[in-house]
Amino acid sequence: MPKRKPVIRKKNKASKWYYPIFKIVGALSAMLICLVAGFYFAVLWGFFGSVPDTTDILNYQNNTASEVYSSDGVLLGKYYLQERTNVSFDKLPNHLIDALVATEDVRFYQHQGIDYRSLGRVAIKSLILSDRSSGGGSTITQQLAKNLFPRDHRGFLSLPVNKVKEMIVAKRIEQVYTKEEILTLYLNTVSFGNNSYGIETASVRFFNKKPIELNIEESTVLIGMLKATTLYNPRRNPDKSTERRNVVLAQMGKYEFLTKQEVDSLTVLPLELDFTLTTHNEGIATYFREHLRHQLEDWCASHQKADGKNYNLYTDGLKIYTTVNSQMQSYAEKAVAEHMAALQTVFNDHWKNSRPWVNNNSSLVNAIHKTERYKNLKQQGLSEQEIQIRFKEPRLMKIFTWEGEKEVEMSPLDSIKHYLYFLNAGFMAMNPTDGAILAWVGGINHKYFKYDHVNIGTKRQVGSIFKPVVYAAALEHGVKPCDFVSSRRVTYTNFDDWTPGNADENYDGYYSVQGALTHSVNTVSVKVLKRTKIANAVSMAHKMGIESEIPEVPSIALGTPNLSLYEMIGAYSCFANEGKVASPRFLERIETHDGSLLAEFEADGSNKRAMSKRTAELMLQMLKQVVDRGTANRLRSRYHLKNDIAGKTGTTQSHADGWFIGVTPELVAGAWVGSDDPNIHFRTITHGQGAAMALPIWGIFMQNLNKNKQFQGITRAKFSPVTYPLDELLDCEDYKERRTVSDIFQRILGGKKKDVNRKRKTKKRRYR
């Protein structure tokens, strides 16, 4: 059998060239896989820093802002390092969740933290096709991982290391949280720019609504911001924000969360905002919130959480409930702004050809020396002359005006002069029965004038509003409202030849004690004090809740003590509270962010009595006369108030301070007006008296209360009618030009002439 020829196979040229390439590619792929796997495990095992485990994730806690609420449930403001408020899933509208999923991660409910399909799409489109519009491929869970645990800086490896970490953490998040919990946590941690975090903060800021109240177009505006919070900020860039909103709506239509008709109808709607900023310097009750902040810091420092750490006001999300009524607070702030803007115009016209500090240049010098700029320049070793040159260099700055904040070119020196012109104010209102503070306005603008003129530590001469304290002490020690006292001017030689005078320069005749208070007669007030004894008046002041030191000198009858508005309003509450002290208070309770009660603050139930009920009733009637026909009559004539009101005006030396405190059966409120520097003031009593400077704030405030039916229980309340025999003690005229024997006979002794001479001598000795 013939031998079979061997088959000679021809070599494939393709295999000759490509086989090595395939081997190389395979080897490189294997190396790449090993490298990626090695890199992954290096990150996982902590070679590039620790990776949060499930325990860290479960123990994660947001830095949550603490919130301050009014007694009527209105958010007054927040304390925070990062402005953030947490909200539960059931408080989020469905369309908000739909918008988020449609825009950020449409396969959110299908993956377990990492969307590999999306990653593949990004790899092909971004890396191979260079399509930058393909997106980043990060899931909502991965973005949450980045929110919870901020990225580290690892040089050129930062991006890959952080991406791998986020993928690992995302997988772990999915193990310990449900999808609803992940969405909730994400929306509570995501940034909306300007140090604000969380959907509730953004919802309140841009639309003044809770998230559950948002409509579809509002929800899509906020979700649209997540791509770039500055570029798509609806307040700064409304056009860009509207475009982005429409993109989100289109995504919702694409993935069938909305119908085409709904998308078309919503897309054409205009962007409508209700922007509400609650920074520390803006919003309602700014001065009160700052005062409250210090009290809360002290409380946190002395109270511990379950883990043994002290509460943190700025991160623990406390809910603080106060006694302040938001509507009353709003009326008070409006009253201050309305009156002070008008009064400032009068003040500027009053000094238009001169300067308020012209006769006392120390006011300007002191103002310069108090500035941080001066202190810094001094610390740098500059001489006074060099500092003066720096202070005269103009620069661009924002300044406060009653027409609004303005940006101007002005030197620091001119800026100081600008602010020296401003008069400031303080106003406080409280319930005279339980001491609950209802309104607190510490100044005209918290951003530019930080000094709080209500605070107990802010003290000024109180003027004639101190007289009711003196008269109350007098009634407690036997003086009667219808005792007549000479208004003759007297020099007190044992007090450095002090000679008090009256504003109207009238020193003739006699005033009843009641009439002297009604018309604020200084000479009579000093004599009433002398008869009462100074120590008794000082003691009465302290019983009424005034804690500041009061010098035992006769000039206190005219209001020379330096006291705070806070103290004086607390003291006046005694007149409406049957002589009992109602200590001012402003805290109701403190709760955790989830509503657990931490502390409750009740009214002082001690009911300490400062004066008898009889004295309080008499003082109320006397103070009512001040309003009806005395120095506070403008409340009737100009502001047309028909409420039951008792009150007292006050004016200090050189018209540096104007005061008014008014009392109704359910409310005691007071105002102070003046310059921060007592050397700057009106030059005439026409404009500088308390009735012109401070009383109008009270009048405007009460007018607004009267218009609101909600406050009828306060505005329509009536004082109890004066009863026998107290009514007879008040039955006398205010003033007599001279006294006759007949007057004395009828009033004092009822017809016994021999006693008339004896009493006349007694009276002469008493008035001498």
Q: Give the CATH number, domain containing residue 202.
A: 1.10.3810.10
Confidence band of 115 (pLDDT split at 50, 70, 90): confident
Confidence band of 125 (pLDDT split at 50, 70, 90): low
> pLDDT, tens digit, for every residue of 322-344?
999 999 999 999 999 999 999 99
What distances in angstroms separate CA 328 from CA 285, 567, 718, one per listed residue?
Answer: 10, 20, 20
Q: Is residue 284 part of a domain?
A: no
Indicate the residue among 260, 279, 298 that finishes a domain: 279
Q: Is residue 209 part of a domain?
A: yes
Between 42 and 244, name the one with better pLDDT.
244
Between 276 and 635, name the one with better pLDDT.
635
Task: Report the range of poorest mean pLDDT among 2-11, 73-82, 471-480, 664-673.
Answer: 2-11
- What's the confidence (pLDDT) of residue 35? 72
Confidence band of 49 (pLDDT split at 50, 70, 90): confident
Q: Are residues 752 and 649 in the same domain?
A: no
One-letter-per-residue 3-state SS of 263-328: HHHHHCCCCCCCCCCCCCCCCCCHHHHHHHHHHHHHHHHCCECCCCCECCCCCECCEEEECCCHHH
Confidence band of 357 (pLDDT split at 50, 70, 90): confident
> pLDDT, tens digit, for every residue of 142-167?
999 888 887 777 666 767 777 888 88
Residue 217 has pLDDT above 90, yes or no: yes
Q: Are residues 653 and 755 in the same domain?
A: no
Residue 121 has pLDDT above 90, yes or no: no
Asked if 466 and 472 count as a contact pair (C-beta separation under 8 A), the reply is no
Task: Report the range of poorest mean pLDDT among 275-279, 303-307, 484-488, 627-631.
Answer: 275-279
SS3 606: coil
To the nearest whole number, what is the mean pLDDT of the chain?
A: 88
Question: Within 10 Å of residue 191's Cβ, how many Cβ atoms?
Answer: 17
Q: Are residues 563 and 588 in the same domain?
A: yes
**How many domains are contained in the chain?**
3
SS3 385: helix
> pLDDT, tens digit, for every residue of 579-637?
999 999 999 999 998 899 999 998 887 779 999 999 999 999 999 999 999 999 999 99
Task: Report the range of poorest mean pLDDT among 55-69, 544-558, 613-627, 685-699.
Answer: 55-69
Q: Which CATH number fits the domain that encloses residue 505? A: 3.40.710.10
Residue 11 has pLDDT above 70, yes or no: no
Mean pLDDT of 218-228: 95
Indicate the residue among 229, 254, 279 that finishes a domain: 279
Distance CA 343, CA 653 (A): 19
Q: Tell me what percent of the residues of the chain surpass a pLDDT of 70.
A: 89
Q: Is residue 317 part of a domain?
A: no
- What's the confidence (pLDDT) of residue 126? 47
Q: How far apart are the first and last CA of the chain?
A: 167
- What's the confidence (pLDDT) of residue 700? 98
Q: Are residues 660 and 608 in the same domain?
A: yes
Mean pLDDT of 746-766: 40
Between 516 and 137, name the one with better pLDDT.
516
Q: Tell me what percent of the residues of the chain surpass a pLDDT of 90.
A: 71
Confidence band of 356 (pLDDT split at 50, 70, 90): confident
Closest CA to 266 of 98, 105, 90, 134: 98
Confidence band of 353 (pLDDT split at 50, 70, 90): confident
Q: Are residues 482 and 624 in the same domain?
A: yes
Q: Are residues 661 and 748 in the same domain?
A: no
Q: Is residue 297 part of a domain?
A: no
Residue 239 has pLDDT above 60, yes or no: yes
Check residue 11 and report its DSSP letter. P
Asked if 730 and 618 count as a contact pair (C-beta separation under 8 A), the reply is yes
Q: Are residues 699 and 762 in the same domain?
A: no
Phi, psi dihedrals of residue 461, rounded to the nearest 5°: -60, 135
- What's the confidence (pLDDT) of residue 86? 86
Question: Within 10 Å of residue 117's Cβ, how many Cβ atoms?
Answer: 12
Counting other chains too, the contacts that 232-238 makes at CB distance below 8 Å and 24 or more residues apart are 233/193, 234/206, 234/271, 234/273, 235/206, 235/273, 235/275, 238/271, 238/273
- What's the confidence (pLDDT) of residue 129? 47
Between 79 and 163, name the one with better pLDDT.
79
Q: Is residue 725 part of a domain?
A: yes
Q: Is residue 722 part of a domain?
A: yes
Between 315 and 59, name the one with better pLDDT.
315
Tokens 């998230």, residue located? 211
- What's the confidence (pLDDT) of residue 759? 37
One-letter-per-residue 3-state SS of 624-685: HHHHHHCCCCHHHHCCCCCCCCEEEEEECHHHCEEEEEEEECCEEEEEEEECCCCCCCCCCH
Q: Are residues 768 and 668 in the same domain?
A: no
Confidence band of 558 (pLDDT split at 50, 70, 90): very high
**pTM (predicted TM-score):** 0.81
- What's the confidence (pLDDT) of residue 696? 98
Mean pLDDT of 244-269: 96
Between 28 and 362, name the one with better pLDDT.
362
Domain range spanning residue 163? 85-279
Q: Are residues 429 and 578 in the same domain?
A: yes
Indicate the residue among 236, 251, 279 that finishes a domain: 279
Closest CA to 190 of 181, 179, 202, 180: 202
Mean pLDDT of 679-688: 94
Q: Is residue 134 part of a domain?
A: yes
Q: Are residues 209 and 252 in the same domain?
A: yes
Confidence band of 16 (pLDDT split at 50, 70, 90): low
Using DSSP bridges, classify how beta strands 319-322 and 66-69 pair: parallel, antiparallel or unpaired: parallel
Q: Are residues 757 and 716 in the same domain?
A: no
Question: Within 10 Å of residue 409's Cβ, how many Cβ atoms?
Answer: 9
Q: Is residue 436 part of a domain?
A: yes
Q: Are residues 708 and 764 in the same domain?
A: no
Mean pLDDT of 80-89: 86
- What's the confidence (pLDDT) of residue 474? 97
